[in-house]
Structures are given as structure tokens and as C-alpha cells.
Amino acid sequence: MSFTELGLSPKVLAAVEAAGYTTPTPIQEQAIPHVLQRRDVLGIAQTGTGKTAAFTLPMLTLLEKGRARARMPRTLILEPTRELAAQVQENFDRYGTNSGLSVALLIGGVSFGDQDAKITRGVDVLIATPGRLLDHVERGKLLLTGVELLVIDEADRMLDMGFIPDIERICKLVPFTRQTLFFTATMPSEIKRITDQFLHNPVQVEVSRPATAATTIIQALVHTRSGPPEKRITLRRLIRSAENLQNAIVFCNRKSEVAILHKSLVRHGFGAVALHGDMDQRSRMAALESFRNGEMSILVASDVAARGLDIPEVSHVFNFDVPVHADDYIHRIGRTGRAGRAGWAFTLVASADGKHVSAIEALTGNKIPFTGDPPPIEGDAEEEISERPRRGRRERGAKKDEGERSQRAKPRDARPAREPRPEREPRSEREPRPEREPKPRPEREPRPEREPRPEREPRPEREAEETPRAARHAPAPQQRPPEQQRPHRRRHDDDDGPVVIGLGDHVPSFLLNPIRRKSG
Ligand code: AMP
């Protein structure tokens, strides 16, 4: 089937051709004609299937008739995150160049004033995250009573992020007679309830996952010791010896780890950017853009920050942490091996990660092979010393160690790394030598990475991305439950920022590393 058979307007067809698309994807082929017939559509599809164009192209066609009125957008698209919202706007910019339509973005992190001004002039397409949209409605600057078409995108992710109450509220603010397009990758019962309530006799369109792991993604597990510094060494070695590496996403389970790892990679000379929920909007967009345009070749990200983003042609995925939820593994590795291209997915596995790996293997139905040798037994002091960069021979020594190991691994196409800067290393990498630390000192130098992790980890970034209103208005808990009270631990695993010791930013330098000072 070709695009010309779908019923799109000549203007939109010209834009599709200009974008270089020749054949509609299955979701486009199945959804577009129904959207143009004003039917409600329930699309079960994940990102990478071409679902964004499946709603933007027919919307552009439908919007050619009629014009926008002040404060009353004609169509509304809800996205769970700012990046996804911005990505949809890019789609409208790309396919709607000649349409003369006005598109506005309502997302957190952008000033209300500019957004208000645009809405007041009248918009054809309003793309919004739920919380920010409701803020504008409450301020009386925005009326949803003119919405003819409502798109709810990535609904299952909205559910994960606690946005369902906001979505229900918004659905009640738009006219009952509007057309609704609803996209979700999965159909948990809560989503089913919403679709039953808010879609009218929808056409259900379901497409399978894009290019699957089986044929195009080479997956491997890589043994690593469990501490973050050791994992960073393993990762650097892996990146340097990776075959055909063009660009890579490195996934971490926590946003705090994203920030630390990013700094570390940059310090070691890698062209890396970070993406996590606590970055401001401008830095997120800048990071993503420099990765997209190839200026930076490594993107360090959390699941939440990266999910759903349109990042084409990633050659490698590295899982710095084994994902706690097996379905995140599928999402992560789905970033590579797209459209029949070869892709590589490496997962760092420490001794405690076994059960998560088993869950992934159970979900995918495949045993993932290990590559390389298992590390020495944990706690082997000699090995630990040789792996850790030491004072005086810090960088040179560490690089030599790594270099020797990658030589043994016979790397091909190893990425040249710029010489690391000679300055101080991040604190997290300058751990004292084990033999010089006779007793653990939990009060001064907690080592959060060594603490046992909870069985099922929270996904802290979810709230930071765009906060559901219910959560924003909830009173702050006065006291944490007893099992969470840890007076000596100054930072939580899911706190932000790269600070690993607990004395904060204002510690006199002589206190920063007392053990090292004594020994030096
Ligand atoms: P999406 O699932 O909307 O995130 O789209 C995934 C990627 O597929 C994006 O990079 C689109 O630009 C691209 N794409 C969408 N439709 C087509 C098509 N018909 N042919 C080729 N690429 C497409």
C-alpha cells in the first residue's frame, strides 16, 4: 500500500514525500483511514512503529478546514513527558510546513507568559503534558470546549507516572462529541477501564513490536564487580573495545547514577551527554539534540527519561545496571537493531543481579550469553587495588590496566578516547584503598552503592519528569515510616547529583578524604 491510498490531502502527501517516506508503516496503514473518517481509534503500538505520524498526518489533513479561535484549541494531544511533547511538535513542524497551522506546546519548564500569548492568539494544535495543561485551565486562560479531536499518547506510561486522574479530568473538560485517538503499548486493566469510559465505539488497531531482538540485536551479558567505580571501569573498557560503535545509549536504573556516570565518562574523554528527570528543559533538549546530530556519541539515560524518545540508529545499548523490571530491558535494547540494522546490547551483570537477569530471560524466552571472563571473587583486595585508579598513578595507571585488558580482548574499532583531564577525579572514583581503611566509617563516608537494594525499586524519576497534580497537591509526609529512617545516611540512592559522601557541598577540603590525607 502507498500513502496516496490512505485519503491524506495533497499538501500532507507532499510533506510525506519530502520526508522521504515511501510506504506507510502498519499502524499508519491501519489507523489513518479511520482517523480521517472521524472514528475513535485505540492503537496498541509502541514507539518506533511510526505511531506519531499515524495521528499527525491525518490531523493535518482534517485541520485544513476551519480555523482556530482565541483560547480554544481545536485539537489537543496529551503526552506524558516534555520530550515526547516536543517530539510531536517536531512532527507537526516537519509535515505541516505548508499548512499555516498554529501549534503550541504546553510543558513544564517553559514560562507561562509565552505559552499564554500563543494560546490567546488561537491554536490549531495544542500539545501538552497533563499537569501543565490543567494549570493553564485553572488560570482561566485556556478553554477546552472547542476541542474537536483529542489524542492520548503513551497511555500506559501516563498510568506508570500517576497521570490517570489528570487524564480523566481532562477527558471531562473536552466536549463529549470530540474524536479520541488513544495510543498505548500495553493494555493493563486500568487502561482498559479508561478506554471503555472515554472512547466511543473505537476501531482497535494493533501492531507488533518493531524490528525484534531475535534477528538484528546481538545481546550479551558482561561480568562486572558490583561497586559503581568498578562498573564504570568495566563500561569504559567495553565501550573502547566495542565493535562498530557509532553511538550508544547507556542506561542506568537511577537518575543519580546517570549524573555520576555522565560526569565520569566526560572526565575520561568520552563525548557523552546525560538525560534524566531533574535536568531543566533547556539542558535536556540540548543534550538530546547533540546526541541526535552526532556531536556526542554517548547518551547516558534513565529509563523514564529515554522511553519513547525518537533517537534513530543507535548502534549500541549498554545497560550499566540490569533493569529491575524485565520489560524495561525490552524497551532499552529496542533502541538498537532498528529497521533491520545490526545492533548490540551489552548488560553489565554483578553477582547480585542474577535474579533480575533470570526474569529478563524468562520474559524474552532466550538465554543471554556471557561474554568475557567472570571477575575475581568479590572482596579480593589485590584485584580491587589493581582495578582502582590510585593516587599518583591514577589516570595513567587506570588507563594502562584497561588498555592491557582490552588488548587481551582483541578489540576492533575501539573508540579513541581523548586524554583524560589531569584534575581531581570525582569523589566516587577516588575511594580509599581497602587495606588503608581498617574499619567501615558509616558516619563519615557512607558508601551508598554497597547498601542492599530494595527488592522492587521505585522509579523515582517518574515524578520528576512531570508531576501528576494529585501528587503535587498531596501534603508532604511529616515522618517517614520507621524502616526508612536512616539518620546516618545523608543521601538516598535516588537522590540527585553526584555527591557520594554525605557532608554536603560545604565541607572543608581537609575533611573530604581524611584517610587518604593521613596516608599521603
Ligand atoms: P514513532 O513510532 O512515531 O516514534 O516513529 C519512529 C520513527 O519512524 C521516526 O523516526 C519516524 O520519523 C519514522 N517513520 C515514521 N513513519 C515512517 C514511514 N512511513 N517510513 C519510514 N520511517 C517512518
Q: Cα of 413 to ligand 1 centre, how many Å?
A: 30
Statement: residue 513 has pLDDT above 60: no
Same domain, 186 and 278: no
Q: Long-range pairs for 187-192 at CB < 8 Å and ≥24 separation?
A: 187/44, 187/156, 188/156, 188/159, 190/159, 190/164, 191/155, 191/156, 191/159
Is residue 223 within 8 A of residue 373, CB to CB? The reply is: yes
Q: Measuring CA to CA, which residue among 196, 258, 283 is closest to residue 497? A: 258
Q: Are residues 202 and 226 in the same domain?
A: no
Domain boundary among 379, 398, 418: 379
| Spacing, Cα 250 to ligand 1 middle (Å) | 23
- Higher pLDDT among residues 312 and 154, named by residue: 154
Residue 464 pLDDT exceeds 60: no
Does residue 395 lie in a domain region?
A: no
- At residue 466, the pLDDT reads 61
Residue 287 included in any domain: yes
- 55 in a structural domain: yes
Q: How far is the CA of 91 from the centre of ligand 1 (A)?
A: 10
Q: Is the pLDDT of residue 459 over 70?
A: no
Nearest CA to ligand 1 atom 12: 50
Q: How far away, in angstroms, is 358 Cα from ligand 1 center?
A: 33
Ligand 1 atom nearest residue 46's Cα: 2
291 in a domain, yes or no? Answer: yes
* Pair (151, 254) in one structural domain: no
Q: How confident is the model at residue 295 (pLDDT cuts 50, 70, 90)?
A: very high
Find the 53 Cα to ligand 1 centroid distance in Å. 7
Give the Cβ contact number of residue 218 at 10 Å.
17
Is residue 196's pLDDT more than 70? Answer: yes
358, 304: one domain: yes
What residue's CA is closest to ligand 1, atom 6? 48
Protein residue with least CA distance to atom 5, ligand 1: 50
CA of 330 relative to ligand 1 center, distance in Å = 19
- Sign of the torsion angle spanned by Cα atoms 99, 105, 111, 112: positive
- CA–centroid distance, 216 to ligand 1, in Å, is 18
What is the model's pLDDT at position 107? 92
Give the total number of structural domains in the chain. 2
Q: Is residue 391 part of a domain?
A: no
pLDDT band, residue 503 (cuts 50/70/90): very low
Please check whether residues 239 and 274 belong to one and the same domain. yes
| Residue 87 is assigned to a structural domain of this protein | yes
pLDDT value, residue 375: 58
User: H or E stretch including 345?
Assistant: strand 343-349
Closest CA to 386 of 420, 435, 423, 338: 435
pLDDT confidence of 361, banded at 50, 70, 90? confident
Residue 230: the pLDDT is 94
pLDDT for res 188: 86
Mutation test residue for ligand 1: of 2, 310, 313, the one with most atoms within 8 Å of CB? 310
Q: Cα(48) to centroid of ligand 1, in Å?
A: 6
Confidence (pLDDT) at 243? 82
Which residue, judged by its Cα, is nearest atom 19 of ligand 1?
24
Average of pLDDT values for 381-386? 33
Domain identity same for 84 and 189: yes
The arithmetic mean of pLDDT across residues 442-462, rounded, is 37
Q: How far is the CA of 50 from the centre of ligand 1 (A)?
A: 4
Q: What is the residue-averaged pLDDT of the chain?
A: 75
Q: Point out the ligand 1 atom lying closest to the alpha carbon of residue 310.
A: 4
* 3-state secondary structure string across 232-287: HHHHHHHHHHCCCCCCEEEEECCHHHHHHHHHHHHHCCCCEEEECCCCCHHHHHHH
Average pLDDT over residues 250-265: 95
* Residue nearest to ligand 1 atom 17, measured at CA: 50
Residue nearest to atom 20 of ligand 1 (CA): 21
Q: How far is the CA of 498 from the centre of ligand 1 (A)?
A: 36
- Domain with residue 372: its CATH number is 3.40.50.300
Ligand 1 atom 21 nearest Cα: 21
How would DSSP label each residue in 135-178? Answer: HHHHTTS---TT--EEEE-SHHHHHHTT-HHHHHHHHHHS-TTS
Ligand 1, residues at Cβ distance < 6 Å: 21, 23-25, 28, 47-53, 310, 312
Determine the pLDDT at residue 469.
Answer: 66
Same domain, 25 and 135: yes
| Nearest atom (ligand 1) to Cα of 87 | 4
pLDDT at 458 over 60: no
> Which of these, 243, 236, 281, lies nearest to 261 by C-alpha position?
236
CA 382-386-390 angle, 5° bins: 120
| 10-21: average pLDDT | 92
Query: What pairs with residue 126 in β-bridges?
Result: 76, 104
Say if residue 348's pLDDT is above 90.
yes
Q: Ligand 1 centre from 352 Cα, in Å? A: 38
Contact indicator for 385, 434 with CB cutoff of 8 Å: yes
Amino acid at 225: R
How would residue 383 be classed by pLDDT, with cut points 50, 70 and 90?
A: very low
Question: What is the 292 CA–ligand 1 centroid distance (Å)?
Answer: 15
C-alpha cell belonging to residue 55: 495521528
223, pLDDT greater than 90: yes
499 located within any domain: no
Q: Find cell 507532499 and name the residue.
A: 14
Residue 283 and residue 289: Cα distance in Å, rounded? Answer: 10
Tell me which residue has its CA closest to atom 23 in ligand 1: 50
Q: Which residue among 52, 184, 314 has the greatest number of ligand 1 atoms within 8 angstroms of its CB, and so is best to mutate?
A: 52
| Structure confidence at residue 454 (pLDDT) | 36
Confidence of residue 374 (pLDDT cuts 50, 70, 90): low
For a ligand 1 pocket test, name from 21, 49, 181 the mutation site with the most ligand atoms within 8 angstroms of its C-beta: 21
pLDDT band at 308 (very low <50, low <70, confident <90, very high): low
> pLDDT value at position 142?
94
- Index of the ligand 1 atom closest to the CA of residue 24: 19
Which is nearest to 29 in space by CA: 208, 207, 212? 207
My answer on whether 171 and 37 are in the same domain is yes
pLDDT at 328: 85
pLDDT for position 51: 92
Please enumerate in sequence order all residues whose Cβ is within 8 A of that of 132, keeping only pairs 6 or more positions apart, or say none.
106, 107, 108, 466
The pLDDT value given to residue 102: 94
Site to probe by mutation for ligand 1, drawn from 3, 5, 25 as the one with most ligand atoms within 8 Å of Cβ, is 25
pLDDT bucket at 519, cuts 50 / 70 / 90: very low
Report the nearest atom of ligand 1 relative to the CA of 308.
Answer: 4
- Give the Cβ contact number of residue 170 at 10 Å: 22
Same domain for 233 and 186:
no
Residue 372 corresponds to which cell in the numbers above?
Answer: 568475557
**Residues 202, 290 within the same domain:** no
* Rounded CA Rg of the chain: 25
Examine the domain organization and report whether 227 and 339 are in the same domain: yes
Strand partners, 72: 69
Last residue of a domain, one of 176, 206, 236: 206
DSSP structure class, residue 17 = H
Q: Which residue has the cell 479508561?
A: 194
**Distance of CA 49 from the midpoint of ligand 1 (Å):** 6
Same domain, residue pair 242 and 184: no
Instruction: Please report which helix (H) or strand (E) contains residue 205, including its range.
Output: strand 203-206
Instruction: State percent of the chain over pLDDT 90.
Output: 46
Range of the domain at 7: 3-206
- Is the per-residue pLDDT at 195 higher than 90? yes
pLDDT digit string, tens, across residues 123-141: 999 999 999 999 999 989 8
Looking at the domain assignment, is residue 457 inside a domain? no
Q: Whose CA is closest to atom 8 on ligand 1?
A: 50
Q: Could you say which of 360, 379, 398 is where a domain stops?
A: 379
Given CA atoms 130, 103, 299, 502 in this order, what sign does their dihedral have? negative
Q: What is the pLDDT of residue 471?
A: 61
* Average pLDDT value for residue range 187-212: 85
Tell me what pLDDT residue 110 has. Answer: 81
Q: What is the pLDDT of residue 425?
A: 35
∠ CA 464-470-476 to the nearest 5 degrees?
70
CA of 326 to the centre of ligand 1 (A): 26
Name the band, by pLDDT with cuts 50, 70 and 90, for residue 312: low
Higher-confidence position of 433 and 192: 192
